[in-house]
A and B are shown apart, each in its own frame.
Chain A
Amino acid sequence: DSGVTQTPKHLITATGQRVTLRCSPRSGDLSVYWYQQSLDQGLQFLIQYYNGEERAKGNILERFSAQQFPDLHSELNLSSLELGDSALYFCASSAGHPATEAFFGQGTRLTVV
């Protein structure tokens, strides 16, 4: 168990809808990273937050947004969902900035129908 908790584990929703994925980092970790994993693209970095502030952005679509709350948990909001958004979404956390020492959650499997 990595200590990173993601909910829900599975999500099935229709095109055009909006969903929120939640992540609780390991105790004491200030950095949270969001990743998308699909079969053809592999793991793609979406966004990083450090102690409540956005730190780095990757290949995140404008329809997607995230935030990190004062208790350090994070949420990833996906809106106007398309079939191509179906993927595994992972959250990872680390004590500081380097993504090289991050621990991953179990992921949320999103299916858009």
Chain B
Amino acid sequence: QKEVEQDPGPLSVPEGAIVSLNCTYSNSAFQYFMWYRQYSRKGPELLMYTYSSGNKEDGRFTAQVDKSSKYISLFIRDSQPSDSATYLCAMSDAGNNRKLIWGLGTSLAVNP
């Protein structure tokens, strides 16, 4: 079993929909939780960064962490065609180097 599980999709939604992306993990030592967006043929870019549990909002994006369930989510409101990309979750413990453990990514297509 992988340390981080993420449904690869693909997920296809109409423009304006609310998108929910999720990851589950098995390592209870994880404290830092990240969501990255990766466009085709580009490097991942950091979208959201959360420490420990709770919610964080940034514009149309909301990240949620539920450590009791070992489950994290990314919500995208009013989705746009420009949100079409692969979304990767990543997480790490609180050690000195904080090696990131990655999900495989969920491919999202937002249709106009």
Whether A104 lies near B105 (C-beta < 8 A) is no
User: Who on chain B is nearest to A4 by CB?
Assistant: B43
Q: List B contacts of A107 (CB < 8 A).
A: 41-43
With a cutoff of 8 Å between Cβ atoms, the chain B residues found around residue A90 in the complex are 43-44
Q: Which residues of A contact B92 (CB under 8 A)?
A: 98-100
User: With A42-B103, A42-B104, A43-B88 as given contacts, are A99 and B98 in contact (CB-CB < 8 Å)?
Assistant: yes
Return chain A residues, CB-CB under 8 Å to B49. Answer: 100-101
CA–CA, A56 to B95, complex, Å? Answer: 12
Tell whether, in the assembled complex, residue B42 and residue A100 are in contact, meaning their CB atoms are under 8 Å apart.
no
With both beta carbons as reference points, the residue of chain B lying nearest to A90 in the complex is identified as B43
In the complex, which residues of chain B have a beta carbon less than 8 angstroms from the beta carbon of A97? 96-98
Residues of B within 8 A of A2 (CB): 43, 45
Which residues from chain A contact B109 at a C-beta distance below 8 Å?
Answer: none
User: How many A residues, CB 8 Å from partner?
Assistant: 24
B29 is an interface residue with CB less than 8 A from chain A: no
A43 to B41, CA, bound (A): 14
Q: For residue A98, which residues in chain B have a CB less than 8 angstroms away from its CB?
A: 32, 92, 97-98
Q: Flag if B102 contacts A100 (CB, 8 Å).
A: no
A16 in contact (CB, < 8 A): no
Q: Does A8 contact B (CB under 8 A)?
A: no
Q: Which of B32, B34, B42, B104 contacts A106 (CB 8 A)?
A: B42
Q: Mark out the residues of chain B between 25 and 59 whose CB falls within 8 Å of any chain A CB in the assembled complex.
A: 32, 34, 41-46, 49
A residues contacting B by CB (< 8 A) are 2, 4, 42-45, 48, 55-56, 58, 90, 92, 97-107, 109
Known: A99-B97, A100-B92. 13 other contacts (CB 8 A): A42-B88, A42-B102, A43-B100, A48-B97, A90-B44, A98-B32, A98-B92, A99-B98, A100-B49, A100-B100, A103-B45, A104-B44, A106-B42
